[in-house]
Chains A and B, each alone.
Chain A
Amino acid sequence: MYEVRFHGRGGQGAVMAAQALADAAFVEGNYAVAFPWFGAERRGAPVLAFTRVDENKINIKTRVYNPDYIVVLDEKLMDFVNVAEGLSPDGMAILNSPLDPEEVDLGMSVKTATVDATTVALEVLGAPITNSAILGAFASATGLVSIDSVKQGILDIFGPRIGDKLAEKNARAAAAAHDRIKIGKCKAERTYPEAKKWLPTYQEMPLSLATKPTKTDSGLVGPGSSVENKTGSWRTFTPKYDEEACTNCLMCWFYCPDAAIKRLEPPKKVGFDMDYCKGCGICEEVCPADAIEMVR
């Protein structure tokens, strides 16, 4: 059995990637399962997905805590998420990164494959969606599944959701990434701060979780606590705002899921709070005046 943990962000397709890998392994005659793990946060929040593959039937239904492989779809994630946590020392990291493996620092030194999946995706798909390209990299870096099976997995899983044509393109992205990996060993220089969670006993927990603003080891909880959650660090794409074109219709202000758009005193119209803008692009989608453009 081998176990894979995918790290991505809501909307990047980590779950579909995990499923496509399971499908690829299944096509090769294995038993495989894939499942997501995410909280209630919306687009842009870190998400996990898992794939388990074995020759025999897999019964275990727990999450994966000591993966053999980690796959990271989002290059910025490694800066503040300890993606290698629990990774087997004999395991391997497959990362979306333009850097060489030796330049990447995961806080532990393991066999690492890097691929500039974002560039591959932009070239092949015309969009920075890396979930298919990274699977091509996984196939060539690990040799656990053939690229043909990965392409089949992408067609099987992506096809019903995004259409066969786009799925074909994604399969091509996987093939393109397959030949563009760099293999080496990453650095172990940084230490990630220990992730602290507020885990009160039932006695310590406010009854029914009715919570006043409370300082805990893991920060503020209760009303106003999202102020501490600077979602701006999630951002890969940034809204570029054209005040001239803006009609001040406030659609963007209404739709921004993180309340990162502020109404300004006239004659100014709206402003963007980069501490909280997570780069989801919803404002660009809803703006009727084309006054917002997402740029990398």
Chain B
Amino acid sequence: MAERRIVTGNYAAAYGALLSRVEVIAAYPITPQTFIVEHVSEFVNDGKLDAEYMPVESEHSAMSACVAATATGVRSYTATSSQGLALMHEVLYVAAGLHLPIVMPVVNRTIAAPIGIWCEHNDTMAERDSGWLQCFCENNQEVLDMVVQAYKVAENTKVLLPVMVNLDAFILSHTVEPVEFPDQKDVDEFLPRYDPKHAYLRPKDPMVVGSFASPEYIQEFRYQTEESTQNAKEVIRQVNDEFAEKFGRDYGGAVEEYRMDDAEVALITLGTVSATTRDVVDELRDEGKSVGLVKMRWFRPYPTEIIRDIASRVKALGVYDRAMSFGTGGPSYMDTKSALYGHSTIPVLGFLAGLGGRDVMVKDIRLMFERTLEAAKKDRVEKEVTWIGTRGVQP
């Protein structure tokens, strides 16, 4: 029987690795991810997880080691945060380019300057063009479940791309809440051993992995990544359904819709703000307002078709971002607008809040809905991007 315990998001992320029977772990600690590294090293030390644990000297080395390990044909794991992810940057492209299905929890933390340790999505958003797939989690159960699902998506032969499992710093990483731990036997059935056919280093069956490529090849190479990314959309759906069938938790695939049936407006969210927004939606519904939540779970591949479908059913969309692409808007806001261009003329508003770990409060989310309802009524965008809770800035 699956057991239930009250654990942190970091523990859930580490336990996901254990359940996935990762074979190589290479990691470097950074607040607030440190406990993930400690937990997995303990699992290995205590004999609970039969893996090679490599304490490396930097995140650059951590990702390099994972690339090499996965290229030999084993399942590998690391985790990082903020500056650590930035230090991995160039190797992230190697992992994605070589189609190595590494899974990496990233504890979303603001990236310096200024130095801070709290939640912001500007660390992973900076890597959204690296070829990695990215999902965002709402609670610790989802963190654990998504590590397991992420391997299944990543290792699917139609995908073969690495995945970042994003969890908000402190709001999940250091928060305990009840989590159900699936049985190992069930996870083993769900997630078979990684057995690559496309890239592996075995001296008896030689293969060039990571070769030089002249301009005659690189464009096709990039197209392969594009196709794999597109394929991931369908695979995410299948894996979600298979997981729901086996473990009883259905996350809705790339996007979860909450009280969207007859909603006039919706707010698109990423990460833990989704959870608070559920309650705000309930409150507003009680007040007679026709609002719904669109929880963006997989941000890469961007669920273009799903967002178009949602836009066809509502009168206005608000998009919440916890990162800014300066001079334009939040990345999720921009992707939403880009997905809708030529397909929809409804107003789309962008909201920034919670940067650097500032609390995103119920009243902030209410304001997002109010503005979106107003835009729906007027059928026009009066202000594209609204910074909420910024001293000196009129929201």
Contact = CB atoms under 8 A, between A and B. Distances in A.
A207 B224 contact: yes
B223 A223 contact: no
A209 B206 contact: no
B198 A40 contact: no
Contacts, number: 59
Contact of B220 (A39, A205, A223, A224): A205
B216 interface: yes
Interface stretch (A45-53, A87-95, A196-204, A279-287): A196-204
A211 B99 CA distance: 13
A208 interface: yes
B212 interface: yes
A70 B211 CA distance: 33
A208 B98 contact: yes
A143 interface: no
A206 to B, nearest CB: 7
Contacts of A199: 216
B69 to A, nearest CB: 15
Given A40-B212, A40-B214, A200-B220, A206 B198 contact: yes
A212 to B, nearest CB: 5
Nearest to A225: B208
Contact of A222 (B208, B212, B221): B208
B217 interface: yes
B93 to A, nearest CB: 12
Interface residues of A, number: 19
Interface in A163-194: none
A210 interface: yes
B224 A205 contact: yes
A223 B216 CA distance: 19
Sorting the interface of chain B by its residue count into under 10, 10 to 19, 20 to 34 or 35 or more gives 20 to 34
Interface in A192-242: 197, 199-202, 205-213, 222-224
B207 A222 contact: yes
A224 B208 CA distance: 9
A272 B229 CA distance: 49
A208 B224 contact: yes
A207 B199 contact: yes
A39 B214 CA distance: 7
A205 B198 CA distance: 11
A197 B223 CA distance: 20
Nearest to B98: A208
Of A199, A208, A213, chain B has the most CB atoms within 10 Å of the CB of A208
A197 B216 contact: yes
Contact of A212 (B97, B207, B220): B207
Given A200-B220, A201-B220, A202-B220, A209 B211 contact: yes
Contacts of A201: 220
B208 A210 contact: yes
A212 B216 CA distance: 19
A223 B199 CA distance: 13
A212 B206 contact: yes
Contacts of A208: 97-99, 160, 198-199, 209, 221, 224
B227 interface: yes
Interface in B75-110: 97-99
B223 A211 contact: no
A211 B207 contact: yes
Contacts of B221: 202, 205, 208-209
Nearest to A224: B206
Contacts of B115: none
B230 to A, nearest CB: 13
A199 B208 CA distance: 17
B2 interface: no
Interface in A80-104: none
Contacts of A205: 217, 220-221, 224
B287 interface: no
B184 to A, nearest CB: 31
A212 B198 CA distance: 10
A202 B227 contact: yes
B393 interface: no
B217 A223 contact: no
Interface in A24-38: none
Given A40-B214, A202-B227, A207 B220 contact: no
B220 A211 contact: no
5 contacts: A39-B214, A205-B220, A208-B99, A210-B98, A222-B207
Given A202-B220, A208-B160, A210-B199, 6 more contacts: A39-B214, A40-B214, A207-B199, A208-B98, A208-B224, A223-B207
Interface of B: 97-99, 160, 198-200, 205-209, 211-214, 216-217, 220-221, 223-224, 227
